[in-house]
Amino acid sequence: MRHHHLAGIGIGPFNLSLAALAAPVGGLDAVFFDARPEFRWHPGLLVEGATLQVPFLADLVTLVDPTSPFSFLSYLRDRGRLLPFYFAERFHLPRAEYDDYGRWAAARLPSCRFGHEVTGVRWNDAETAFELTVAGAEPVLADAVVLGVGSVPSVPEPLRGLVDDPAVPVLHSADYLTHRNALLAAESVTVVGSGQSGAEVVLDLLRARSTLDGLRWLARTPAFAPMEYSKLGLEQFTPDYTAYFHGLPEAVRDRLLPAQWQLYKGIDTETIGAIHDELYRRSITGPSGAVLTPGVEVVSASTVDGGVELGVRHAQQGRSATLRTTAVVAATGYAETPTGPLLAGLGDAVHRDQRGRLVVDAGYRVALDVPGPLFVQNAERHTHGPGAPDLGLGAWRAAVILNAVCGRTVHELPDRTAFTTFGLEDL
Ligand SMILES: Cc1cc2nc3c(=O)[nH]c(=O)nc-3n(C[C@H](O)[C@H](O)[C@H](O)COP(=O)(O)OP(=O)(O)OC[C@H]3O[C@@H](n4cnc5c(N)ncnc54)[C@H](O)[C@@H]3O)c2cc1C
């Protein structure tokens, strides 16, 4: 079996960042596997006009190593598009461009192997290393493993059965583009969920549907609220805040995260503005026909006469109603990809907290009763806070992990990353 220093499972932006930052490290033998045939970044939501929610500097490498050949600017140079980008003055990239940039970088990293799902990780005592079972390839050994398996669509219980049934026009927003034409032609469409994805789907339907009659947007939140984007508020997406959050007691962390929902569940103000603009434009000759109602929860769902019947409850009014719709888009977010099946081979050696979540230290290392280090990327929101899925923290986390794997500082990191002093100990 090939024995590598480092093996990464999943090649989304975060392990791709690790692969790019690992590439120049002499003597480091790293390999990364992804089940998909190539790098794809949320292909079902590359809606026209949709942009990243973070500046282009949150690429795979720049916030740690701006000289890296895998930076977004290097990609533009290679594509001969630096000058158009300069004149475009775009701080937030089109999502489709980030997707293309990821594929460009992955194609230049021989350590990245696509089309290979890792189906199991176990500890091989004889080899004193992790052993990975890789679909379509020989098992490999690795001294260190990094899980970058990302997230999966999350669907609330009442809608789950219908989303899973391909014959019923109920889908998760992750598959929006696949069903877009059918949704444009549908007599009525109900979008559920007030996050960025829900807003982008509604905006696209507002722009592209010939009639807005039957277009409904429902959300549990009391309002269609903006994402926190103030400069000091965004310091909660810094390594300083991450370290502070990690140092809090588990119960405090579990209380704090849901309260910080506007850091990761709101809608960016530009999209909110564009939705209002579109409603304004479509109401020049009379009411637009679109219905937007916050504070409503979907409590039941069933198919009736080829359509869908939703049972909804308005929390503040304490009232219930039944809505008929032709199709439903559940823009209801994502959950971390379960790691149980993948790590089953390690059995009880994996430490989990009372809620079954991985116990992860400040350096992203999972508490484990085997000698080798197992790290996670974007499976540690419960220990490291709202920044876990944030692209802006990706390069930093990858560098922390790489420095640990190499047992030396291969990428220098600054001591201080925020103006805010989180916690009393630093006062
Ligand atoms: C629509 C959308 C837009 C977003 N926009 C932004 C944004 O603008 N700014 C921002 O900061 N964040 C954004 N995020 C959040 C976050 O950055 C992304 O979710 C990001 O893709 C997370 O990267 P990842 O590497 O953790 O996982 P993913 O991108 O989910 O990739 C995980 C990969 O792991 C692979 N995989 C899983 N299990 C296995 C296995 N067993 N074996 C092999 N491969 C496996 C999958 O095939 C997949 O390719 C967005 C999220 C979504 C859903």
Across 367-371, average pLDDT: 97
Query: Would the pLDDT of 425 be above 90?
Result: no
The Cα 39–Cα 44 span in angstroms is 14
Is position 203 within any domain?
Answer: yes
Q: Which of 110, 105, 108, 103 is nearest to 32 (CA)?
A: 110
Q: Is 394 in the pocket of ligand 1 (CB under 6 A)?
A: no
Q: Which residue has the higher pLDDT, 212 or 34?
A: 34
| Within a domain: 180 | yes
What pLDDT is recorded for position 305? 83
- Are residues 63 and 93 located together in one domain of the fold? yes
- Looking at the domain assignment, is residue 241 inside a domain? no
- Is it the case that residue 426 has pLDDT exceeding 70? no
Q: How far is the CA of 92 from the centre of ligand 1 (A)?
A: 18
pLDDT in the model for residue 165: 86
Least confident window among 1-10, 280-289, 291-300 = 280-289
206 lines ligand 1 (CB under 6 A): no
Q: How many CB atoms lie within 10 A of CB 143?
A: 18
Do 21 and 103 share a domain, yes or no? yes
185 and 146 part of one domain: no
The residue out of 330, 365, 387 marking a domain boundary is 330
CB of 332 within 6 A of ligand 1: the answer is: no
Of 96, 298, 266, nearest in space to 197 by CA: 266
How close is the Cα of 377 to the center of ligand 1, in Å? Answer: 10
Cβ of 153 closer than 6 Å to ligand 1, yes or no, is no
Tokens of 228: 């926190």
Is residue 414, in this structure, part of any structural domain at all? no
99 lies in the same domain as 8 = yes
Q: Is the pLDDT of residue 303 over 80?
A: yes
Q: Are residues 319 and 197 in the same domain?
A: yes
Q: Measure the CA angle with vertex 173, ends 184 and 264; round to 5°.
A: 135
User: Of 285, 307, 330, which residue is a domain's last?
Assistant: 330
Distance CA 65, CA 395 (A): 9
- Look at residue 310 and tell me if it is in a domain: yes
Average pLDDT, the chain: 96
* C-beta of 14 in contact with ligand 1 (< 6 A): yes
169: domain CATH number?
3.50.50.60
Q: Which atom of ligand 1 is nearest to the CA of 378?
A: 26
Total count of domains within the chain: 2
175 found inside a domain: yes
Indicate if the pLDDT at residue 335 is higher than 80: yes
148 lines ligand 1 (CB under 6 A): yes
Q: Answer yes or no: do 54 and 193 share one domain.
A: no
Instruction: Report which of 166, 156, 217, 164 is spatially closest to residue 190, judged by C-alpha positions.
Output: 217
Residues 283 and 201 in one domain: yes
Query: Is residue 427 predicted with pLDDT exceeding 80?
Result: no
Q: Over the stretch 192-227, which tens digit does the pLDDT of each residue have?
A: 999 999 999 999 999 999 999 999 999 999 999 999
Choose among 98, 90, 127, 80: nearest CA to 13.
98
Task: List the one residue out of 378, 427, 64, 402 whose CA is nearest residue 244.
Answer: 427
pTM above 0.85, yes or no: yes
My answer on whether 144 and 59 are in the same domain is yes
Reported as a pLDDT band with limits 50, 70 and 90, residue 45 is very high
CB distance 92 to ligand 1 below 6 Å:
no
Q: What is the pLDDT of residues 91-140, one digit of tens each?
A: 999 999 999 999 999 999 999 999 999 999 999 999 999 999 999 999 99
CB 13 within 8 A of CB 41: yes
Tell me the residue range of the domain where 214 lies.
Answer: 153-227+265-330
Whether residue 44 has its Cβ less than 6 Å from ligand 1: no
Does residue 96 form part of some domain? Answer: yes
Q: Is the pLDDT of residue 184 over 80?
A: yes
302 domain-assigned = yes
169 and 300 housed in the same domain: yes
Whether residues 222 and 92 share a domain: the answer is no
Measure the CA–CA gap between 268 and 271, rounded to whole angstroms. Answer: 6
Same domain, 180 and 291: yes
Same domain membership, residue 162 and residue 141: no
Ligand 1 site-directed mutation target among 16, 18, 42, most atoms within 8 Å of CB = 42
199 lines ligand 1 (CB under 6 A): no
Closest CA to 120 of 276, 338, 302, 342: 342
Give nearest CA residue, ligand 1 atom 3: 42
- Could you tell me if the CB of 13 is within 6 A of ligand 1? yes
Which burial class, exposed, middle or buried, applies to 284 when counting CB atoms under 10 A from its CB (0-12, 13-18, 19+)? exposed
Within 13 Å, how many C-alpha atoms sit on residue 269's CB side?
Answer: 3
Q: How far apart are CA 402 and CA 18, in angstroms?
A: 7
Q: What is the mean pLDDT of residues 164-173?
A: 90
Report the separation in Å between the CA atom of 275 and the middle of ligand 1, taken as the mean of its atom positions.
26
